[in-house]
Chains A and B, each alone.
Chain A
């Protein structure tokens, strides 16, 4: 008992040592974003997340947009536009250098603009940039852009992240190693966790006030809330949990902001066939929608109701929310007139975002009042892109159309909601050529009215941008068309940037391979010595067979998973040519057996393939993730052994006593404890409530063992306790059995003390079942910590796989799963041998 007490005290002390509050440097800004960018090249690919990290930080364009939307000079000092609107002449700023020290030249500008306007460009705005006819340099320091047709919006287009100027000499590696002209330069990217930028000391303009910018990626609303409450985040420009906004309001450390976005959340209706092709039905649905209830219920009051596809902050906006007032009776009448008095069934397919899921629940209930039965199907994003967006296999969906000026989608034939109106297309064509502001204003009003009259979709609300920031932060403003933040001006009040953090963090990955291999060799050698060749050979043979079978199973499964990785990466505006080009680039061509053999062959010499999304070797990703998951699983196992085995031992020793009864009941409760619920409660108590540890995230081992262990403390406990309960039961039962055996009784009869007899004689032999359970638990903890990793947003193996499946980064999925299978089988092999080494009876049994 004293031994146990001592253990507990040591454990508590070491936890307390780990729980020491770290000081936070004021020059370091920790920004949380919902989505991690797939790569860091803003000029190829459609991900908004790329702009959020690199636009105006690393990369700059010729011009930029000001808070009021006016165009300001940036890399171009000044410019002129010819009277016919076709020729733009830019004078470049002198003395601008890229982060690698090379000067910015006309050549780089021409290269950048031609690259995005080329036919083969994978730029998200390639269609818009295809209006560029030629880019030339008429004189040193000058660049001339000639357009095919006049475009009133051209300069605005140049303010986008898609049009930043990149260095010609380093254009190929922008995705992983971005080099720009901006006030910050790229330092480090720990995939799945964070990206670090540091101040560019040689910036041509006014240097940034912050020394370092760290972007963390938190999409889960509860993780976001916990991180903000625990003070782990200084700025969350697009906070995903409106339901917690009210709670944050009372926190004096935080400043909350609510702003508009260009996003319209709509109930899209597939009007190609069925009841939804009927205008009266769509109008009936419009009457059934109660926008107030939707905004209150799904967005907790944040969001502005809209009556058409247009953002309310635009000067051209007209309020059409009264076009179809919420009136269930009117809706029923319309349905009855259309011959649908008895209702019908519609499939509502929802993307994963919480606003869509919540709105879906509410709309399903609202449509039920019209006797329209709504069957909700929740999809993940690639599934939504495939089923709804590409194949139009849906009736209703809810999605935020975030792109600015996107009323043109209603003119596209073959777009997913299937609206086909020659009148509307005529309006768009007139708008394209109209240059007079009054005419444009009138046309835009007409566009909004037409969409509302035709009740094309259910127009719900404008998506709000909810921001949470440290109350001391100053000069945060959001560049709305780009959705990027101008970090150059941001600062923590008076205390300006501290050290010029040039010490780039980098994880020593790949260092795990050699020790692991050595351990394996030593293990095999020891096993050979102890058990002889036939036993070891047969076990290794079955190990290899299981592994081969596993590669076949997982590869086959992955082949039939629907959803195309290339389509996912290219986003909503991808052309078939671009997707085909990407297929070839990712190695997705060739027959199934060819690809299988290539994959397995590569793995045999350590090449696990290249991640489709990150474009880096999967082996490196794996090594990084193992550096977290392996120690976490190890720590959790150690803790569960410490707590579980000692509790079971104690209970068995005092069989039938009050101690035994209490431990047995606690163990039964512990088994029933869902680890994710425990994790949630732990975060609330220790991170949000007491503030002893961070709510999540992982600083990396390079940040020091103390901070790293502190980050792992809560996940470790959440993982370990339910396992400890199982171990306690197994230990107790197994020990009770051995305590009854003759040799222990003999030892006792010879005068050996109860505790000594149990410890020396019974415990070793009782360890067999305990080891077996441990052998099952360790791989479970290694992979099964996925939910826990999500709650604590730890960049571990489980989260890598979940994220990879969601992004259809299938090469990562199959490789990680095979590695996990290998670890599982290897551990069970080791455990078998260990058990046989301890208890020779098992070995005999195996040979028989």
Chain B
């Protein structure tokens, strides 16, 4: 199907662009994002500053690129941490069943029942706002997502004949889980991870917007948006650009997730 390929291609292109920007900003930005130049603040786009400068005279292109590092970095780490904890939990629950399974699933219910933003705010009151806090808050809500998905998919795979064969061959449950089950469920996990990545990006922006994300001088799109909101009459690009960056990055990831999902479904031949 051509549409499936188009979606995948556009998703890859957008995501690739943001990943490249984020990586580039790790080592180089056109201007120093911490350098304040009050005299040159709120300047419109020019040859020197392609997207103008912000209220402190900092270069918008540099800020947006460095903001990509923040957004993608926090999202990657939080989804990564959730995968790292959630997938083994799910595998374990699927392999063991019974009480442990029930406990792990009830834990998921409990986490889902908590209002996420409020919990993040309480957490930040606990240890102060910052990147690590945002990562923890987002990761906590992603753990049950992956645990459940892994459990469901793993239980399906456990019924396959070759798993029974492996059991007869004397392989222990943990080994089967990692050697046979995990590779078989990697596809859906990847798709889900892409979707969660997109959601994490919005969550990070939201936390930064209320001041709970990474702290100055490290730029973040959400905070840029919050700080420039009142300037929209004089310098609309300051509030519109970070919002557009969030929109585009999440859009790209959504497309990527859709494209991957459809490709996977196609490959399964369902």
Interface residues of A (CB under 8 A from B): 221-222, 225, 241, 243-244, 246-247, 290, 293, 296-297, 352, 357-358, 360-362, 364-366, 368, 376-380, 383, 542, 545-546, 549-550, 553, 557-558, 560-563, 661, 668-669, 671-674, 676-677, 680-681, 684, 776, 779-780, 782-784, 786-787, 790, 798, 801-802, 805, 813, 816-817, 820-821, 824-825, 828
Say which residue of B55, B211, B239, B251 sits within 8 Å of A297 (CB atoms). Answer: B55
Quick one: closest A residue to B195, CB to CB? A671
| B226 surroundings in chain A (CB, below 8 A) | 222
Chain A CB within 10 A, most for which of B110, B114, B129, B229: B229
Instruction: Please determine whether B229 and A560 come into contact, CB atoms closer than 8 angstroms.
Output: no
In the complex where A361-B216, A549-B110, A783-B115 touch, is A669 in contact with B251 (Cβ < 8 A)? yes
Chain B residues whose CB sits within 8 angstroms of the CB of A362 once the complex forms:
36, 38, 56
Q: Contact check, B209 vs A787: say whether CB atoms are below 8 A apart.
A: yes
- In chain B, residues 95-109, which have Cβ atoms closer than 8 Å to a Cβ of chain A? 106, 109
B56→A222 contact, CB < 8 A? no
**Complex partner residue of B230 from A244, A676, A779, CB under 8 angstroms:** A244
Q: List chain B residues, Cβ under 8 A from A787.
A: 117, 206, 209-210
Contact in complex: B250, A561 (CB < 8 Å): no
Q: Is the CB of A672 within 8 A of B36?
A: no
Q: Determine if B165 is an interface residue (Cβ-Cβ < 8 Å).
A: no
Given contacts A362-B38, A805-B121, contact A672 B109 (CB under 8 A): no
Asked if A674 and B115 make an inter-chain contact with CB atoms under 8 angstroms apart, the answer reads: no
B198 in the interface (beta carbon within 8 A): yes
Q: Is the interface of A mostly helix, strand, loop or mixed?
A: helix
Indicate which residue in A293, A542, A545 contacts B38 across the interface (CB closer than 8 Å).
Answer: A293
Given contacts A361-B216, A680-B229, contact A546 B254 (CB under 8 A): no
For B254, the chain A residues whose CB sits under 8 A away are 668, 671-672
Q: Which of B167-207 contact A (CB under 8 A)?
A: 198, 202, 205-206
Q: Who on chain A is nearest to B254 by CB?
A: A668
Cβ 8 A contact of B115, one of A247, A364, A784: A784
Cα-based distance from A314 to B133 in the complex (angstroms): 46
Cβ contact of B113, chosen from A243, A246, A293, A825, cutoff 8 A? A825
**B:1-28 near A, CB below 8 Å:** 3
- Name the CB-closest residue of B to A352: B211
* A786-B117 in contact (CB<8A): yes
Q: Give the Cβ gap from A823 to chain B, nearest Cβ, in Å.
A: 9
Chain A residue numbers with a CB within 8 Å of B255 are 668
B128 CB within 8 Å of chain A? yes
Provide a sorted-by-A list of 26 A–B residue pairs whose CB atoms are within 8 angstroms: A221-B229, A225-B230, A293-B38, A296-B41, A358-B56, A361-B36, A368-B34, A376-B217, A378-B215, A379-B128, A546-B110, A546-B113, A550-B114, A669-B251, A671-B250, A671-B254, A672-B202, A672-B246, A672-B251, A674-B247, A684-B232, A786-B210, A787-B210, A790-B210, A802-B121, A820-B118
Task: Annotate B138-163 by CB proximity to A: 1 below 8 A, 0 otherwise.
Answer: 00000000000000000000000000
Is B231 in contact with A674, judged by CB distance below 8 angstroms? no
CB distance from A228 to the nearest CB of B (A): 11
Q: How many residues of B contact A (CB 8 A)?
A: 58
Residue numbers in A under 8 Å from B210 (CB-CB): 786-787, 790, 802
- CB pair A821 B114 closer than 8 Å: yes
Q: Which residues of chain B have C-beta atoms less than 8 A from A828's C-beta? A: 112-113
Asked if A786 meets B110 with Cβ closer than 8 Å, knowing A661-B3, A671-B250, A676-B206, the reply is no
Q: A824–B110 Cα gap in the complex (Å)?
A: 10
Q: Is B233 an interface residue (CB 8 A)?
A: yes
In the assembled complex, the CB of A393 is this many whole angstroms from the nearest CB of chain B, namely 12
Q: Are B36 and A297 closer than 8 Å at their CB atoms?
A: yes
- Closest residue of chain A to B210 (Cβ to Cβ) is A787
User: Considering the chains assembled together, what is the distance between the CA atoms of A354 and B63 in angstroms?
Assistant: 20
Q: Which residues of B contact A380 (CB under 8 A)?
A: 125
Interface centre among B35, B118, B231, B249 (most CB of A within 10 A): B118
The answer on a CB contact under 8 Å between A244 and B233 is yes
Query: Which residue of the partner chain B has the closest CB to A790?
Result: B210
Interface residues of B in 238-265 (CB under 8 A from A): 239, 243, 246-251, 254-255, 258
The closest CB in chain B to the CB of A363 belongs to B36
B67 nearest CB across to chain A (Å): 13
Say yes or no: is B47 at the interface (Cβ < 8 Å to chain A): no
- State the CA gap A119–B164 with chains docked (Å): 81
Count A/B pairs, Cβ under 8 Å.
Answer: 186
User: With a CB–CB cut-off of 8 A, which chain B residues contact A297?
Assistant: 36, 38, 41, 55-57
Shortest C-beta distance, B138 to chain A (Å), equals: 14
Min Cβ gap A658→B in Å is 12
CB neighbours of A290 from chain B (8 A):
38
Return chain A residues, CB-CB under 8 Å to B106: 542, 545-546, 549
Q: A221-B230, A293-B38, A542-B106 are in contact. Are A779 and B115 (CB under 8 A)?
A: yes
Residues of B within 8 A of A542 (CB): 106, 109
Q: Is the Cβ of A673 less than 8 Å from the Cβ of B234?
A: no
With A243-B231, A546-B113 given, name 10 new contacts (CB 8 A).
A352-B211, A358-B56, A361-B216, A376-B215, A378-B215, A558-B122, A672-B254, A680-B232, A787-B210, A802-B118
* Contacts A787-B209, A824-B113; A364 near B217 (Cβ below 8 A): yes
CB < 8 Å neighbour of A680 from B202, B239, B250, B251? B239
Would B118 and A783 count as touching, CB distance under 8 A? Answer: yes
With beta carbons under 8 angstroms apart, the residue of B121, B198, B209, B222 that contacts A801 is B121
Q: CA–CA, A251 to B48, complex, Å?
A: 33
Instruction: Judge whether A550 and B206 touch: CB under 8 Å.
Output: no
Task: Identify the closest chain A residue to B111 (Cβ).
Answer: A553
Enumerate chain A residues within 8 angstroms of B121, measured Cβ to Cβ.
801-802, 805
**B233 CB contacts on chain A under 8 angstroms:** 244, 247
Please tell me if the beta carbons of A378 and B36 are within 8 angstroms of each other in the complex. no
A377 and B34 alpha carbons, distance in the complex (Å): 15
Smallest CB separation, B218 vs chain A (Å): 10
Task: Output the nearest chain B residue to A297 by Cβ-Cβ distance.
Answer: B38
Chain B CB within 10 A, most for which of A383, A560, A672, A780? A672
Shortest A723–chain B CB gap in Å is 12
How many angstroms from the CA of A563 to the CA of B125 in the assembled complex?
9
Whether A817 lies near B225 (C-beta < 8 A) is: no
- The docked-state distance in angstroms from the alpha carbon of A362 to that of B129 is 20
* Bound-complex Cα distance A671 to B249 (A): 11
Residue B116 is within 8 A (CB to CB) of chain A in the complex: yes
> Given contacts A669-B251, A674-B206, are A560 and B126 in contact (CB under 8 A)?
yes
> Which of chain A's residues have a CB closer than 8 A to the CB of B115?
779-780, 782-784, 798, 801, 817, 820-821, 824
Give A553 to B115 CA distance when docked, in angstroms.
13
Contacting pair A783 B55 (CB below 8 A): no
Contacts of B125 in A (CB 8 A): 380, 383, 561-563, 805
Indicate if the CB atoms of A247 and B251 lie closer than 8 Å.
no
Given that A222-B230, A673-B247 are contacting pairs, would A377 and B215 also be in contact in the complex, using a CB cutoff of 8 Å? yes
> Please, which residues of chain B bring their CB within 8 A of the CB of A562?
125-126
Which residues of B lie under 8 Å from residue A817 when comparing CB positions? 114-115, 118-119, 122
In the bound complex, CA of A553 to CA of B209 (Å): 26
Bound complex: CA A560 to CA B123 (Å): 10
Which residues on the A side are within 8 Å of B112 (C-beta)?
A: 776, 824, 828
What A residues does B231 contact at CB under 8 A?
A: 243-244
A668 to B6, CA, bound (A): 14
A574 to B230 CA separation, bound complex (whole angstroms): 36
Question: Chain A: which residue is nearest B201 at the CB level?
Answer: A672
Cα distance, A249 to B232, chains bound together (Å): 15
Known: A297-B36, A674-B202. A553 touches B251 (CB 8 A): no
In the complex, what residues of A have CB within 8 A of residue B239's CB? 680
> How many angstroms between the C-alpha atoms of A88 and B258 in the bound complex?
82
Residue of B35, B36, B225 with highest tally of chain A CB at under 10 A: B36
Taken together as a complex, chains A and B put the C-alpha atoms of A535 and B211 apart, in Å, by 45
Do B251 and A383 have beta carbons less than 8 Å apart? no
Contact assessment for A668 and B117 in the assembled complex, using a CB-CB cutoff below 8 Å: no
**Chain A contacts of B36 at CB under 8 A?**
293, 297, 361-362, 364-366
A378–B217 Cα gap in the complex (Å)? Answer: 11
Q: Which of B35, B56, B126 makes the CB contact (< 8 A) with A557?
A: B126
